[in-house]
Structure formats: structure tokens, C-alpha cells
Amino acid sequence: MSNTQTARPLLDVRGLRHRFGTVTALDDVTFDIADNEFFALLGPSGCGKTTLLRAIAGFEQPEHGEILLDGADLASMPPHRRPVNMMFQSYALFPHLSVEKNVAYGLEAERRSRSEIQTRVGEALEVVGLATMAKRKPAQLSGGQRQRVALARAIIKRPRLLLLDEPLSALDRKVRAEMQLELKRMQREVGMTFVVVTHDQEEAMSMADRIAVLNAGRVEQLDTPVGLYSTPRTRFVADFIGTSNLFDGTADAAGIEVPGLGHFPGEHAVPAGRPASAVLRPEDMILGDPGTGRWTCTVIDTVFLGGGSTVSLAVDGHATPVTSVLHAATGLRPGDRVGVGWKSDRCVIVPGEVSSAVPQREAAVPAGISG
């Protein structure tokens, strides 16, 4: 008999339910977060992720369920007593105070000694790379630098758990990409558990160890970034994470039958005769000469993105264009005919129960592009 025991999670969320009038914000939400983990709550606007974050912080009181931190129930603990800090989307810096005074504010409110405050402020500013800007005011900083000040102020009190609500949404695309890497570095350096709320799948995928994808108040799937992308369990996750080619049909023992397009083989657990969807990522589509592959299609458009080309294709019998991603520039032009197939082991089949409302999100070219 093994003596190995599973470590208790730092945060354990059990069966949370919460409503605002007739709107269900959280619907039986259950998950746990390990110590020193970078965890993301990802989903479209209105899915419940910010309500969930506020419940952990103590700003919302769920109607049902438990939130345990280190095994202790947080329900009766007011926000200011919880070993949790929250960094808001707006940063909320004091414009009349210097960087170091903004960072020191929480410790000064606790009446810590001057020497302790000075030491910890210096350490926090070193971590966020602003040690040389301690005397500046927020108005003298860039958006990315102000974000770092807010982060230093949040980590200086050494909470067990740091909650970040859309922390990068105010930054432009280039600075946001840089800060994604910086946040991950800082999280490892300070040895703290981060929970970030975002609607940006690229942001979550680049930073988090694990991601909970929320939809209409429920956790659709909790997995690693690789797991979410390569093996989505629902049609919503397949469509929300990255770019997918989706084909709707009816499950059978060996795959699904799609009207007008034929049979898509693949392993699955959907009962025969039930609605199901085949998921094929753009990099798994194979283009060749007309007459090769599964179909012969017409090129609608091509876009060169530096590291590769995205090709949009019209498939007879399928209302939605199919997307393929190639490694380099392509000579294909609109109107060209090409043969289209896919890597046989890359077809993922998921249940077909999902509403017709598909969330809008910024398209991203998935990693691991292949021809």
C-alpha cells in the first residue's frame, strides 16, 4: 500500500452558486488551486469569472458553497482579514504620491516600522524592475510601469493568494505581450499563488499553469493550456480556445457522420445517434494538388503573418470557410483549387450540445504551425 498522500490545495472552491436577481452568475463551480500555481479564470464577458474572483476576495457572499484557504473556511472572514490581495483593473494609484509611497501605503496603514517598510519596498521595486523610479509620480510613468507599481503594492503585503482582475487590459498589444512574460517571471520569483481573470485566451495560455474556462456560470473545462488546445472536451472550449474548424453531425461507433461531408473517424465517448462535432485545428489541415486529400476546395483568401500563412477555403456542402495554417509564405491565390485533408490522428470529437451564440474573440495563430 502506498504511503504517498496528495498535498492539500491552497484554495479549494466547492459548489459555489450565486445569483443576481434572475441571472445565475455562478452555477455549482468547483475547482482547487495548488500552492505557487499561476491559475487563470478565462471566459467571455458575463460568464461569472469576476463574480468568482470577488467571492474569493470577500466582496461577494455566495448563496451556496464553500471557499477554503489552507483548509480554513473564508465565509465568516471579512475581506480585510483574508490573507488575499486583489489587484484591480484600474490600478488605482495615488497620483500625488511617489512610486515608493504608493507601494508602501499598505504597510504604513499597518503601522510597520520604518526600517521594515524601507526594506520591503526596496525588495518589491527590485522584483518589478522599478528600483530606479522610486521617486517618480504615476503621471511620469508609462502604462506598463504603472501596472508594475500596482503589482508591487499588491505583493508587498505577502498575501497567500494574489487575485488579478484583467490586469493587462489597459495596455497596448506590444506592452501587454511583454508584461505577460514579466508577470510569469515575477510570480515564480516571489513564490506566490496568482489567480488572474481574463477574457483574452492568448493572455491566459501564455501565463497560466492551468486554466478554468467558464461559460454561463459553469466551469466547462479545467486543464493545462496544452490540454485545452489539443483535447477540448466541449464544443464551446474548442471554439473559444484558439482557432478551430468545426463540423457538426451525428455520432456513431467509429466517429461522426457530417451531412454533405461524409464520415469523420475518431475515438469519442458520445452515445451513438447523439449530436457531436469534429474539431480540426488549422495546423492539422493538409493542402495538396486538386484531387488529393479528402476534398477539392476553392481558395477564398490568404494572409501572410510573418511566421506563416493562413489560408481560407470554401468547402462544397459546408457553410463556414475552413482555415489552414502553413509554415511559410504561399503562392496560393483566391480562386485556386486545392486538395484538402487532415492528419488522421488529430480529429477530436466532442458532444454537440452548445447554444448557437458563439463568443467573439481576437483570432490568434496557434503555436506549432505545420503544413
Q: What is the tens place of the pLDDT at every residue in 218-243? A: 999 999 999 999 999 999 999 999 99
Q: Mean pLDDT of all residues in the chain?
A: 87
What are the residues facing 367 on neighbouring strands?
A: none
Cell numbers 509611497 correspond to what residue?
Answer: 101
278-294 pLDDT per residue, tens: 999 999 999 999 999 99
Phi, psi of 222 (to 5 degrees): -120, 120
What is the spatial distance between Cα 219 and Cα 165, in angstroms, rounded to a whole number?
18
CA 285 from centroid of its chain's CA atoms: 25
**Sequence ranges of the domains in the chain:** 11-221, 231-351
Percentage above 70 pLDDT, the chain: 93
Q: What is the largest CA-CA distance in the chain?
A: 78
Per CATH, is 231-351 categorized as 3.40.1080.10?
no
User: 248 with 221: CB under 8 angstroms?
Assistant: no
User: 242 with 206: CB under 8 angstroms?
Assistant: no
Question: Residue 129's CB: how many other CB atoms inside 10 A?
Answer: 15
328-353 pLDDT per residue, tens: 888 899 999 999 999 888 899 999 86
This prediction has a pTM of 0.85
C-alpha cell of residue 186? 515575477
C-alpha cell of residue 339? 486538395
* 139, pLDDT greater than 80: yes
Domain boundaries 11-221, CATH class: alpha beta
Binned at pLDDT 50, 70 and 90, residue 354 comes out as very low
7-20 pLDDT per residue, tens: 789 999 999 999 99
C-alpha cell of residue 270? 458520445
What average pLDDT does the segment 153-157 reach?
86
Helix/strand/coil for 173:
helix
Cβ-proximal residues to 241 (8 Å cutoff; 6+ apart), any chain: 201, 205, 213, 228, 229, 232
What is the spatial distance between Cα 53 and Cα 156, in angstroms, rounded to a whole number?
20
